[in-house]
C-alpha cells in the first residue's frame, strides 16, 4: 500500500496547478467518465433504490479512473498528487474490512456491512455538533450511556474558560478540553474504554495533534475526523495529523460524501466523486471508516427536506463501495428539522431505513444546520437504532424498502424544515430521557412506521 510519506512527498513535488484550473478540469473529467461508463441520471422511472447490479461495477471503474487519470489536489501546496492504477487498486485491495476501536471491555469492531445485510449495524450516536462548555459534562455522559454506542465523536464550542476561541493557541487549549471532557464523560457513563473521536475545533494540525495524550486525551483506540475536502482535495494539516495519528494508533474517519451541484455536476457525477472520495481518504489519510453517500447544498443548509435523486444516488455509491472495496461505510443522518419535532424523527427514520438496506453503518444524527445546544438529543440516536433493527426485522430488500420509502416520502413532501428545540427544552439530561412531549412524538412516529411495515419489538 502506498505510504503516507509517499503522499507527503507528492504533495510537495507533484505538478503545480491553480485551484480554479483543477476545479474546471475535475468537472470535465467527471463528465467524461459519466459518459465513458454510462452512469445514468435519475428519472421518474428509476427505482427508489438502485436495482441495477451492473451499475455499481461501472461506477467503481469510473471512481478509480478519476483517481488514476486526474489525481488528488493538495490545497496547501497547489500541487497534484498523481497515482498509478496499481497504487489505487493496491489500497482498495489491502485496506481492512473491519477495525477494532476503543480499549478493554469497551472495544468494538467496526465492520463493512453488506447490501441488504442481516446483522445489526455499527453505531455512533453523536456529537459532531456544538454544545456549550456548561453542558459538556452531562451531554457526553448521556450519549455514552446509549448501550449500542460503538464510538462517540466530540463537539465544538466557541468559548472556553471564558475566553473566545480565536487563534491557534486558544484553539489548541480548546481541543485538549474537548477530549478531556469526552474522556470524563465516557468514564462517568461506566465505559472508560469507549472510543472517542476528535471533532476538530479547527483543522490546523497543531490543534488536532494537541489532543493526543494517553492519560487525559486521545489514545490508541481513539480516532480523529480527517475529512477529504469537496472536489477531491486534501490538505497538509490533515495529512500531517494522519501521520502523527498513525504513529500513536489513532484511527481516522472521513466525511466522504459528494455534493450534487458542485464541480462534480449532477447526481451522475456525484456518484463518481462519492466513490473516489472514500478511496482518497484511505489513500491520503488512511481513513478506513467513511461516512459516504451523496448530498446537496440545500440538504446541508437545511433549506428543504432532501429526497430524490439523492436516495437513489446514495444507494449506488454505497452498493459500489460495499461490493468492490473494503470501505467501512457509514451514513450521516442529517435531518433538516431540529430535535424535538415529528419532522426530525421522520427524516431520521427515512434515512436510517435507506442506510440499513444500503449497508451503511449509522453515524451521528444531527440537525443539518446545527445550532448551539440544539443539534441533537439522545432520542434521535436511540431511535435510529430502533428503526434500523426494525428494518432488519422486517427483512426489507432494495425493492420492498424502496416501496416503503416511497410511501414515507409522501409524509415528508411539502413539509418545511422545523427549527426544533434546545436539548434542555426537550430532553432530561439528568435522568437520560426525553421530555413527555418529545416522548409522545416519538411514539406517534413509531406507530406511523409500524403502519408502513416496520417491525418494532
Q: What CA–CA distance (Å, rounded) separates 417 from 341?
A: 10
* C-beta closer to another protein: residue 89 or 170: 170
> Rounded to the nearest whole angstrom, what is the least distance from the CB of residue 19 to another protein in the complex?
18
SS3 406: helix
Residue 416: all three cell numbers together: 418545511
> Rounded to the nearest whole angstrom, what is the least distance from the CB of residue 168 to another protein in the complex?
5
* C-beta closer to another protein: residue 173 or 324: 173
* C-beta closer to another protein: residue 64 or 205: 205
> Rounded to the nearest whole angstrom, what is the least distance from the CB of residue 26 to another protein in the complex?
23
* C-beta closer to another protein: residue 171 or 354: 171
> Rounded to the nearest whole angstrom, what is the least distance from the CB of residue 100 to another protein in the complex?
19
> Rounded to the nearest whole angstrom, what is the least distance from the CB of residue 255 to another protein in the complex?
20
| Beta carbons of 151 and 396 less than 8 angstroms apart | no
* C-beta closer to another protein: residue 170 or 455: 170
> Rounded to the nearest whole angstrom, what is the least distance from the CB of residue 173 to another protein in the complex?
5
Q: Would you tell me how many other CB atoms lie within 10 Å of the CB of residue 388?
A: 24
Q: What CA–CA distance (Å, rounded) separates 331 from 156?
A: 21
> Rounded to the nearest whole angstrom, what is the least distance from the CB of residue 133 to another protein in the complex?
14
Binding footprint of another protein on the chain (CB under 8 A): 4-5, 7-9, 11-12, 76-77, 161, 163-164, 166-173, 176, 204-210, 212-215, 236-237, 239-244, 247-248
Residue 457: all three cell numbers together: 419489538
Contacts 24+ apart (CB under 8 A), 80-86: 80/14, 80/15, 80/17, 80/22, 81/7, 81/10, 81/11, 81/14, 81/234, 81/284, 82/10, 82/14, 82/15, 83/2, 83/283
E strand or H helix at 224: strand 223-225
Q: What CA–CA distance (Å, rounded) separates 55 from 162?
A: 54
* C-beta closer to another protein: residue 168 or 297: 168
CA angle 96, 254, 72 (to 5 degrees): 90
> Rounded to the nearest whole angstrom, what is the least distance from the CB of residue 205 to another protein in the complex?
3
* C-beta closer to another protein: residue 242 or 387: 242
Residue 210 DSSP code: T
Relative to beta strand 79-81, strand 72-74 is: antiparallel
Q: What CA–CA distance (Å, rounded) separates 315 from 115?
A: 9
> Rounded to the nearest whole angstrom, what is the least distance from the CB of residue 446 to another protein in the complex?
46
Q: What CA–CA distance (Å, rounded) separates 258 from 307?
A: 15
Alpha helices in 264-397 (DSSP H): 267-285, 297-300, 310-324, 342-358, 378-393
| Beta carbons of 41 and 283 less than 8 angstroms apart | no
* C-beta closer to another protein: residue 12 or 424: 12
Distances in whole angstroms, Cα of residue 441 to Cα of each of 273, 412, 445: 38, 16, 6
* C-beta closer to another protein: residue 206 or 428: 206
* C-beta closer to another protein: residue 7 or 360: 7
The angle, 0 to 180 degrees and rounded to 10, between the axes of the packed helices 378-393 and 436-452 is: 20
The angle, 0 to 180 degrees and rounded to 10, between the axes of the packed helices 267-285 and 310-324 is: 40
> Rounded to the nearest whole angstrom, what is the least distance from the CB of residue 75 to another protein in the complex?
13
> Rounded to the nearest whole angstrom, what is the least distance from the CB of residue 161 to another protein in the complex?
7
| Beta carbons of 92 and 278 less than 8 angstroms apart | no
* C-beta closer to another protein: residue 59 or 238: 238
Residue 222: all three cell numbers together: 481513539
| Beta carbons of 259 and 235 less than 8 angstroms apart | no
Amino acid at each position: 500500500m502506498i505510504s503516507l510519506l509517499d503522499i507527503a512527498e507528492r504533495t510537495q513535488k507533484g505538478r503545480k496547478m491553480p485551484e480554479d484550473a483543477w476545479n474546471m478540469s475535475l468537472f470535465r473529467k467527471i463528465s467524461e467518465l459519466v459518459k465513458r461508463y454510462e452512469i445514468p441520471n435519475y428519472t421518474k422511472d428509476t427505482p427508489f433504490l438502485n436495482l441495477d447490479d451492473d451499475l455499481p461495477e461501472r461506477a467503481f471503474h469510473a471512481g478509480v479512473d478519476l483517481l488514476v487519470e486526474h489525481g488528488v489536489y493538495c490545497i496547501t501546496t497547489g500541487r497534484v498528487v498523481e497515482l498509478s492504477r496499481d497504487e489505487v487498486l493496491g489500497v482498495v485491495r489491502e485496506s481492512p474490512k473491519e477495525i477494532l476501536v476503543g480499549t478493554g471491555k469497551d472495544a468494538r469492531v467496526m465492520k463493512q456491512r453488506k447490501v441488504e445485510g442481516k446483522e445489526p449495524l455499527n453505531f455512533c450516536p453523536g456529537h459532531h455538533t456544538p454544545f456549550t462548555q456548561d453542558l459538556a459534562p452531562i451531554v457526553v455522559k448521556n450519549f455514552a450511556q446509549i448501550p449500542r454506542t460503538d464510538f462517540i465523536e466530540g463537539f465544538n464550542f466557541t468559548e472556553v474558560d471564558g475566553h473566545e476561541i480565536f487563534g491557534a493557541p486558544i484553539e489548541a487549549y480548546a481541543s485538549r478540553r474537548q477530549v478531556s471532557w469526552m474522556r470524563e464523560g465516557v468514564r462517568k457513563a461506566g465505559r472508560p474504554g469507549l472510543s472517542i473521536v476528535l471533532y476538530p475545533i479547527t483543522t490546523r494540525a497543531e490543534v488536532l495533534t494537541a489532543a493526543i495524550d494517553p492519560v487525559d486525551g486521545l489514545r490508541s483506540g481513539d480516532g480523529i475526523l480527517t475529512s477529504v475536502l469537496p472536489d477531491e482535495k486534501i490538505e497538509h494539516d490533515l495529512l500531517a495529523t494522519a501521520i502523527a495519528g498513525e504513529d500513536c494508533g489513532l484511527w481516522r474517519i472521513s466525511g466522504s460524501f459528494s455534493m450534487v451541484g458542485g464541480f462534480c455536476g449532477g447526481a451522475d457525477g456525484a456518484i463518481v466523486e462519492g466513490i473516489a472520495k472514500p478511496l482518497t481518504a484511505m489513500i491520503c489519510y488512511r481513513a478506513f471508516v467513511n461516512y459516504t453517500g451523496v448530498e446537496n447544498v440545500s440538504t446541508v443548509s437545511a433549506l428543504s427536506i432532501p429526497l430524490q435523486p439523492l436516495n437513489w444516488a446514495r444507494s449506488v455509491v454505497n452498493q459500489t463501495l460495499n461490493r468492490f472495496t473494503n470501505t467501512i461505510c457509514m451514513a450521516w443522518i442529517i435531518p433538516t428539522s431540529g430535535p424535538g419535532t415529528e419532522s426530525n424523527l421522520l427524516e431520521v427514520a427515512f434515512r436510517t431505513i435507506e442506510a440499513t438496506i444500503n449497508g451503511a453503518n449509522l453515524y451521528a444524527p444531527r440537525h443539518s444546520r446545527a445550532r448551539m445546544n440544539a443539534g441533537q438529543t439522545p432520542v434521535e440516536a436511540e431511535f435510529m437504532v430502533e428503526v434500523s433493527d426494525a428494518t432488519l426485522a422486517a427483512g426489507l430488500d432494495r425493492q420492498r424498502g424502496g416501496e416503503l420509502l416511497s410511501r414515507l416520502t409522501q409524509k415528508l413532501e411539502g413539509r418545511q424544515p422545523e427549527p426544533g428545540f434546545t436539548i434542555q427544552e426537550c430532553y432530561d439530561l439528568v435522568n437520560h430521557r426525553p421530555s413527555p412531549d418529545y416522548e409522545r412524538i416519538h411514539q406517534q412516529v413509531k406507530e406511523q412506521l409500524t403502519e408502513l411495515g416496520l417491525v418494532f419489538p
